[in-house]
Amino acid sequence: MLIIPAIDLQDGCVVRFVQGRSNKKIYSRDPLKTAKHWVKQGAQFLHLVDLDGAFTGIPKNLEVVKEIAKQIKVPLELGGGLRKLETVNAVLGAGIARVVLGTKAVEDKDFLKKALAKFKDKIIVGVDAQDGKVMVRGWKTGHNNTDAADYSLYLKKIGFKELIYTDTLKDGTLTGPNIKEIKRLLKLTGLKIIASGGISSLEDLHKLKALERDGVSGIIVGKALYEGEFTLPQALKFS
């Protein structure tokens, strides 16, 4: 099971929000240095998010991302505002191992099918949910009351084997992941799930590790690492 540090980018800085939109805190003005730090600490995979892209639909931190990809030797995945096949292709060509699709994947099923056919396992869908409903456009709005479980089943139907699940109300709160919903999605879909949102302690990692046999394939950790709730080497003991 992968333990994946998150690097959220806004205006070229490493930041964290609470629930994706409030209480912004800048942790670093040097994202490359942050990436190198996590790799030095033992990270085998990094999760990058272009928050400017997520909010506006147009990635704004690609030069920073490209520089990280150029200098970091572990695989990187990137999400946030990647809403054109040409952009996805360019990002993958710049050394990103996998692209995370969110808003565009929900809003345009033809785009999603084309992306899957063209890029296969180099794309993964982020299912961002609030109270069981899919959120889009930087988590600012719901999408036609789309049920997260129904959407996840659709992803399985068209050929996906894994997804990233984020409870947007948990993200950045350090209140623990939504274990109940993760269990429900695992049971309903049979998909592998990378869990994200709310990780606050080693106990949370222990609870998710217990679901590895059921399909939890990774855990994205953000604020807990930046706030020193535990270290990455401690977290990696659960990998």
- The answer regarding whether domain 2-236 maps to CATH 3.20.20.70 reads yes
Judged against a pLDDT cut of 80, whether residue 89 lies above it is answered with yes
Q: List the chain domain ranges.
A: 2-236
Neighbours of 237 (CB within 10 A): 12
pTM of the model: 0.95
Strand 162-167, strand 98-101: pairing: unpaired
Provide the phi-psi class of 18: left if phi over 0, else alpha when psi is between -120 and 50, else beta.
Answer: beta
Radius of gyration (Cα) for the chain, nearest Å? 16
Strand 192-196, strand 216-221: pairing: parallel
Judged against a pLDDT cut of 80, whether residue 21 lies above it is answered with no
Judged against a pLDDT cut of 90, whether residue 141 lies above it is answered with no
Q: Which residues are catalytic?
A: 8, 128
The DSSP-derived string for 58-86 is S---HHHHHHHHHH--S-EEEESS--SHH
The pLDDT assigned to 139 comes to 63
